[in-house]
Amino acid sequence: MLNLLVLCILIISGCTTETKNNIEITNHKVLQKEKHTCSIVVKQEGPIKIQDNIVRALVFVKNRDIKCLTDIASNGDQVAQLFLGDMYSSEENVERDYSKAAYWYRLSAEQGNSEAQQELGILYYKGVGVNKDYKESVKWYRLSAKQGHAFAQYCMGFMYYLGLGLDKDYTKSYLWLNLSASNGSNAGIELRDEIEKKIPMKKIIELHEETKICKSNNYIGCD
């Protein structure tokens, strides 16, 4: 049973904290960086597990090469745009600037990057770098959640739970939290189990079936 303290922590933190998944780069090796250019030569060693542009962006982040990362992002690379958003929002290698973070997250999010969509939703939820707007926050959470992003799905459940940016609805909250839980979010599990007390068992069973259908349809028509 979720105790009152844990529930309060979830409500206070809202949709602002979740550890991101580690990026697998084991089968890639950076060989060299050409002088005076923003080019990276990447040698593949075994099956590709991530796109080369992620490796390239990671190298520039590691080397604190903000200029090269910005050049690539300015040319439309959604991964570089995401990483710049992360850097400006976390004060990593650059002075923290939430307005710039929002700018780069938006460019990446508009290209369909689910991580950037979720991060942009957080900025609207918190009102940093942009005006606080729960409806706009929900818009970006939903786009990310429908791509299977576990934390964005938790955020959708959270927003339905408190009625932020949309009408309060425990059943829709439970559905999104159950999806989030099924995709590995501990926050989703904790809040889902608390909301379960507010919904009849018959409906809970139905919602578990809806969760399976939703996932099998790649989240189309879930909400």
Condensed to tens digits (0 to 9), the pLDDT of residues 138-172 reads: 999 999 999 999 999 999 999 999 999 999 999 99
Identity of the residue numbered 218: N
**The two structure tokens encoding residue 50:** 């991530």
Q: Is residue 207 within 8 Å of residue 160, measured between CB atoms?
A: no
**The two structure tokens encoding residue 31:** 């060989």
The pLDDT value recorded for residue 38 is: 52
pTM over 0.85: no
The pLDDT value recorded for residue 63 is: 57
Residue for token digits 């710039």?
A: 100
User: Measuring CA to CA, how many Å separate 160 from each of 58, 102, 154?
Assistant: 35, 24, 10
Residues near 69 by beta carbon (within 8 Å), at least 6 away in sequence = 57, 60, 61, 80, 83, 84, 87
Does residue 12 surpass a pLDDT of 60?
no
CB environment 7-38: b (16+ within 10 A), e (fewer)? eeebeeebbeebeeeeeeeeebebeebeeeeb
Residue for token digits 């939903």?
A: 142
Does residue 64 surpass a pLDDT of 90?
no
